[in-house]
Chains A and B, each alone.
Chain A
């Protein structure tokens, strides 16, 4: 079974520039998540999709961050314009949708996209 694919693995940009990250989840996983992991901290949820609908985007800084999941499969996270404090690893994860099952809440992570904003 193929894992969660993310690209690019590394990106360096100047502040005020834009960047986009791509994620392809495990086949058949209905739920997709974007997490932000700042160095030395745990992952923080940015947005959760169920198929192609947004379940939770309460922690997404909507003035600069946007995300979409067209056709309920792969997803793109965009930052525009980037700030210094956006330097982090952006983790994509997916899980199956099976309410009440512990499997539904088990996250499978991609390798992450490391962003450095100068």
Chain B
């Protein structure tokens, strides 16, 4: 079974600064996807960024980028130029290529301070 671990329950960052959220996972499979989802307070969860395991290049989406280290089974999320709207709970998720379903970590609560 796959597991996802997020070791930082809470983090805070000043507006306009950069923050990195950590995630490690455990699997014996080689074909999978990794995701970061954002869950703002009292709002629904949305996809932030995704990474295909077969791609060596790290995914980027505007201010969001990942550092994917396949051998280390590490998948961190970097948020640049943090904005107040980035305040949310962030979940790292793992999905086998043909499974559809995702396994989630327990999340990191990020607070962006003005």
A interface residues, Cβ below 8 angstroms from B: 3, 31, 33, 40-45, 48, 50, 55-56, 91, 95, 97, 99-100, 102, 104-112
Is the CB–CB distance between B106 and A40 below 8 Å?
yes
Are B44 and A105 neighbours in the complex by a CB distance under 8 Å?
no
How far is it, in angstroms, between the C-alpha of A99 and the C-alpha of B31 when the chains are bound?
12
Assuming A91-B45, A105-B95, is B101 touching A56 (CB within 8 A)? yes
User: Do B44 and A55 touch across chains, with their CB atoms under 8 A apart?
Assistant: no
How many inter-chain contacts with C-beta < 8 Å in the A-B complex?
A: 60
Q: Is the CB of B101 within 8 A of A45?
A: yes
Choose among A31, A43, A44, A111 the residue that contacts B43 (Cβ–Cβ < 8 A): A111
A39 to chain B, nearest CB (A): 11
B103 to chain A, nearest CB (A): 8
**Interface size class for chain B?**
20 to 34
Determine the distance from Cα of A104 to Cα of B95 in the docked complex, in whole angstroms: 10
Task: Mark B97-108 against chain A: 1 for CB-CB distance below 8 A, else 0.
Answer: 111111111110
In the assembled complex, which residues on chain B have CB atoms less than 8 Å from the CB atom of A33? 100-101
Q: Report yes or no: A109 in contact with B101, Cβ–Cβ below 8 A.
A: no
- B: which residues have CB within 8 A of A? 4, 6, 33, 35, 37, 43-47, 50, 52, 91, 95, 97-107
A-B contact pairs, 25 of them (CB 8 A): A3-B44, A41-B107, A42-B4, A42-B106, A45-B101, A45-B102, A45-B103, A50-B100, A97-B100, A99-B98, A100-B97, A100-B98, A102-B33, A102-B50, A102-B52, A104-B100, A105-B33, A105-B35, A105-B50, A105-B97, A107-B37, A107-B102, A109-B44, A111-B44, A112-B44
Interface centre among B43, B45, B47, B98 (most CB of A within 10 A): B45
